[in-house]
């Protein structure tokens, strides 16, 4: 094995370990993190919503954009501001993950899977890329993983933004609608 390949494997292992550790930390400390993020949003206001949206979209796991959206609404921030700020944080977080996948690309993926599997997945992703990104953005499917895959398989940026981020905005707006519906405002 060459030195370059060894360094790449170590880098991927470190990134994977950090993501798994963050996921486990969030999973076991969900309630305290939820309260802490709510306090930060209350302290920093709309800017806190941007950072909370960025945080939940880059780490993945059980937290979604619903948490900062509801926290922002509960602190009295107008719903339009909440939607814009959480969407902005989600956009930045999604782009960061997409760029990581795009940067490591085919070379990074081939460290873990063989060429034949990679090509089979590329064909399948190309065929269903729009549906995949839309469903990942709207449902609890691992959104971060789909953003990385979109970057690895070089999905066009405009397509990624339209289908992933567009659906993410719909999810945020749906959360706001449900909040008002269940709180008796609508």
pLDDT along the chain (186 residues), means of 10: 74 75 71 74 85 82 81 89 94 90 81 82 90 87 84 92 92 92 80
**pLDDT recorded at residue 26:** 66
Written in H, E and C, the secondary structure of the chain is CCHHHHHHHHHHHHHHHHHHHHHHHHHHCHHHHHHHHHHHHHHHCHHHHHHHHHHHHHHCCCCCCHHHHHHHHHCCCCHHHHHHHHHHHHHHHHHHHHHHHHHHHHHHHCCCCCHHHHHHHHHHHHHHHHHHHHHHHHCCCCHHHHHHHHHHCCCCHHHHHHHHHHHHHHHHHHHHHHHHHHCCCC
Annotated domain spans of the chain: 3-182
Q: What is the pLDDT of residue 158?
A: 94
Burial class (CB in 10 A: 0-12, 13-18, 19+), 176: buried
Predicted TM-score of the model (pTM): 0.77
What is the pLDDT at residue 8? Answer: 73
Nearest CA-CA partner of 121 in 165, 155, 88, 92: 155
Q: What pLDDT shows up at residue 169?
A: 93
- Write the CB contacts of 72 (distance below 8 Å, at least 6 apart in sequence): 41, 46, 49, 81, 82, 85, 86
Q: Length of the chain, please? A: 186
């Amino acid at each position: 094995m060459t030195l370059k390949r060894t360094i790449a494997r170590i880098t991927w292992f470190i990134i994977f370990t950090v993501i798994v550790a963050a996921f486990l930390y969030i999973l076991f400390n969900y309630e305290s993190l939820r309260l802490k993020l709510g306090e930060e949003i209350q302290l920093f206001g709309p800017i806190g919503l941007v950072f909370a949206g960025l945080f939940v979209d880059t780490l993945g796991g059980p937290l979604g954009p619903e948490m900062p959206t509801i926290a922002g609404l509960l602190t009295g921030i107008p719903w339009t501001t909440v939607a814009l700020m959480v969407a902005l944080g989600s956009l930045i977080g999604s782009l960061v993950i997409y760029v990581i996948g795009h940067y490591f690309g085919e070379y990074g993926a081939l460290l873990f899977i063989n060429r034949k599997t990679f090509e089979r997945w590329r064909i399948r992703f190309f065929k269903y890329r729009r549906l995949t990104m839309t469903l990942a953005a709207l449902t609890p499917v691992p959104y971060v993983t789909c953003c990385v895959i979109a970057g690895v398989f070089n999905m066009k940026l405009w397509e990624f933004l339209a289908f992933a981020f567009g659906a993410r905005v719909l999810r945020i707006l749906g959360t706001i609608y449900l909040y008002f519906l269940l709180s008796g405002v609508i």
